[in-house]
């Protein structure tokens, strides 16, 4: 077992310590003595990014199958009962870059929670595969119309951005794959990715590092080492704009508008975050105030950044009445043009900074957020301390924000997916709006 020196804390920074068990599992603690509960989170470096087309959806399938019991808890009922006796719920999610298993509970139950996770990935039974298959197929139905056409705008848009690259695949996978995955497929995928060297265990809360490491060594020491897998590099950028409309009945059309952007390790990423907050961070910022409050083009429209290991997506999503779609997109592109043209005020920058600082400080009261930052992020790179993030935000200038806006918010980076009941005339108008922006 190897312990790394604690990362120095400065003022608001929590104490972060990592020890590596003999089998290669990193155990990280984020000490938050002011809290009364803790989060125990296990991050596995596996997800849709690591799948071939024939295996697409298998990471999600394995995550579901792990709920089907272990040697000690031989059924889903026994496993969930054991979790709930600790006052917790076993939360799990599969993403593109990693898979997460997490329990939130009182600090005294942390060793028992670590033991449960050790049982979960150390001795799974993978029982009741046909029942779980049925449930996942039901989940897939949410993303398809009755005629079998895909209507999930987020997944359609990501397919436009990444094409045939694994990042363009659906996390849940296609129905055909889920219908044929076997127990052998599940065990193969599990063996490949669920090794100790391909995982991080992170506990955040009022805990002691040594006690956590001792509990982890007891519960997880027998997990096979496995290999630390390498993520396939993000593909080259596809020249845009890319637009796809999928007809679907209903009174509204859903929109997902994506721009390829820079990864978190890029020095310009903090400028991208600032750009996001100037565009959409409260009801007074441009996106909501202009499009919803003043023009009534959408009840709800939001912007976000999805950070991936070596790229990111700047995303704007919302829904509006079918007849308003071209006008909404036209007005949105006009707002983006204003950002690219440098029409950003000092007041907007100051507001973005103070709200960023508040949310950074608030994350210290959120054990789950701290586990995600210092545990999940660490699968790919050493996460900066909070003070470093705040210092970077303080250093951002308006010129930096304009520069990243000009680099990211361009027709060449644009992918737009719409799902709704648009007339042919409205689809033509939408395409004309996007093409006109390209020629502007």
pLDDT tens digits, one per residue of 69-114 = 999 999 999 999 999 999 999 999 999 999 999 999 999 999 999 9
Tell whether 279 and 141 lie within a shared domain. Answer: no
pLDDT value of residue 61: 98
User: HEC string of the chain?
Assistant: CEECCCECCCCCCCEEEEEECCCCCEEEEEECCCCCEEEEEEEECCCHHHCCHHHCCHHHHHHHHHHHCECCCCCHHHHHHHHHCCCCCCEEEECCCCEEEEEEEEHHHHHHHHHHHHHHHHCECCCCHHHHHHHHHHHHHCCECCCCCECCHHHHHHHHHHCCCHHHCCCCCCHHHHHHCCHHHHHHHHHHHCCHHHEEEEEEECCCHHHHHHHHHHHHCCCCCCCCCCCCCCCCCCCCCEEEEEECCCCEEEEEEEEEECCCCCCCHHHHHHHHHHHCCCCCCHHHHHHHHHCCCCCEEEEEEEECCCCEEEEEEEEEEHHHHHHHHHHHHHHHHHHHCCCCCHHHHHHHHHHHHHHHHHHCCCHHHHHHHHHHHHHCCCCCCHHHHHHHHHHCCHHHHHHHHHHHCCHHHEEEEEEECCCHHHHHHHHHHHHHHHHC
Last residue of a domain, one of 188, 220, 252: 220
User: 279 with 324, same domain?
Assistant: yes
Q: Are residues 211 and 350 in the same domain?
A: no
Do 313 and 175 share a domain, yes or no? no
Q: Is residue 233 part of a domain?
A: no
- Of 169, 188, 220, the one marking the end of a domain is 220
Would residue 37 count as lying in a domain? yes
Query: What's the confidence (pLDDT) of residue 388?
Result: 95
Q: Which pLDDT score is estimated for 147?
A: 85
Same domain, 58 and 180: yes
Q: Into how many domains does the chain fold?
A: 2
225 is a domain residue: no
Q: Verify that 134 and 273 share a domain, yes or no.
A: no
Do 256 and 216 lie in one domain? The reply is no
Domain check: are 20 and 152 in the same one? yes
- The reply to whether 432 falls in a domain is yes
In a domain? residue 228: no
Residue 402 in any domain: the answer is yes
Query: Do 280 and 416 belong to one domain?
Result: yes
Claim to verify: residue 134 and residue 251 sit in the same structural domain: no
> What confidence score (pLDDT) does residue 205 get?
98
Residue 171 lies in a domain: yes
The pLDDT tens digits along the chain (440 residues) read 777 766 555 578 999 999 999 999 999 999 999 999 999 999 999 999 999 999 999 999 999 999 999 999 999 999 999 999 999 999 999 999 999 999 999 999 999 999 999 999 999 999 999 999 999 999 999 999 888 899 999 999 999 999 999 999 999 999 999 999 999 999 999 999 999 999 999 999 999 999 999 999 999 988 999 999 999 999 999 999 999 999 998 899 999 999 999 999 999 999 999 999 999 999 999 999 999 999 999 998 999 999 998 999 999 999 999 999 999 999 999 999 999 999 999 999 999 999 999 999 999 999 999 999 999 999 999 999 999 999 999 999 999 999 999 999 999 999 999 999 999 999 999 999 999 997 66
| 277 and 138 inside one domain | no
User: Domain range for residue 358?
Assistant: 242-439
In this prediction, residue 5 carries a pLDDT of 63
**CATH at residue 407:** 3.30.830.10
Q: Does residue 229 belong to any structural domain of this protein?
A: no
Task: Based on the fold, state whether residues 185 and 311 are members of the same structural domain.
Answer: no
């Amino acid at each position: 077992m190897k312990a790394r020196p604690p990362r120095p804390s400065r003022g608001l920074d929590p104490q972060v310590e990592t020890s590596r068990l003999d089998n290669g599992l990193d155990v990280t603690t984020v000490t938050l003595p002011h809290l009364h509960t803790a989060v125990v989170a296990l991050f596995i470096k596996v997800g849709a990014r690591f799948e071939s087309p024939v295996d697409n959806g298998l990471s999600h399938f394995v995550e579901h199958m792990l709920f089907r019991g272990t040697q000690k808890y031989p059924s889903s009922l026994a496993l969930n009962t054991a979790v709930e006796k600790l006052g917790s719920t076993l939360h799990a999610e599969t993403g593109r870059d990693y898979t997460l298993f997490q329990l939130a509970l009182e600090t005294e139950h942390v060793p028992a929670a670590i033991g449960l996770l050790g049982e979960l990935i150390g001795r799974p039974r993978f029982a009741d595969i046909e029942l779980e298959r049925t449930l996942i197929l039901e989940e897939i139905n949410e993303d398809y119309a009755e005629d079998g056409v895909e209507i999930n705008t987020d997944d359609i848009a990501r397919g436009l951005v990444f094409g045939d690259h694994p990042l363009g695949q659906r996390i849940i996978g296609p129905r055909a794959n889920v219908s044929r995955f076997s127990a052998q497929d599940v065990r193969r995928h599990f063996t490949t990715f669920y090794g100790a060297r391909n995982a991080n265990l992170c506990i955040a809360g009022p805990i002691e590092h040594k006690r956590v490491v001792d509990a982890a060594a007891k519960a997880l020491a027998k997990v096979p080492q496995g290999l630390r897998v390498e993520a396939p590099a993000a593909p080259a950028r596809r020249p845009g704009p890319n637009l796809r409309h999928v007809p679907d009945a209903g009174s509204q059309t859903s929109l997902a508008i994506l721009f390829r952007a820079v990864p978190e390790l890029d020095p310009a990423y903090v400028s991208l975050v600032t750009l996001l907050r100037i565009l959409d961070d409260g009801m007074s910022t441009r996106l909501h105030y202009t499009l919803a409050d003043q023009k009534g083009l959408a009840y709800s429209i939001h912007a976000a950044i999805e950070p991936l290991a070596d790229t990111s997506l700047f995303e704007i999503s919302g829904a509006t009445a079918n007849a308003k779609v071209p006008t909404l997109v036209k007005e949105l592109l006009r707002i983006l043009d204003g950002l690219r043209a440098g029409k950003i005020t000092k007041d907007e920058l100051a507001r973005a900074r103070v709200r960023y600082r508040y949310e950074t400080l608030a994350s210290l009261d959120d054990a789950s957020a701290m586990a995600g930052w210092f545990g999940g992020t660490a699968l790919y790179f050493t996460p900066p301390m909070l003070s470093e993030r705040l210092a970077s935000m303080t250093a951002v200038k308006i010129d930096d924000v304009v520069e990243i806006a000009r680099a990211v918010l361009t027709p060449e980076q644009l992918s737009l997916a719409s799902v709704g009941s648009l007339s042919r005339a409205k689809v033509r108008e939408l395409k004309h709006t996007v093409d006109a922006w390209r020629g502007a």
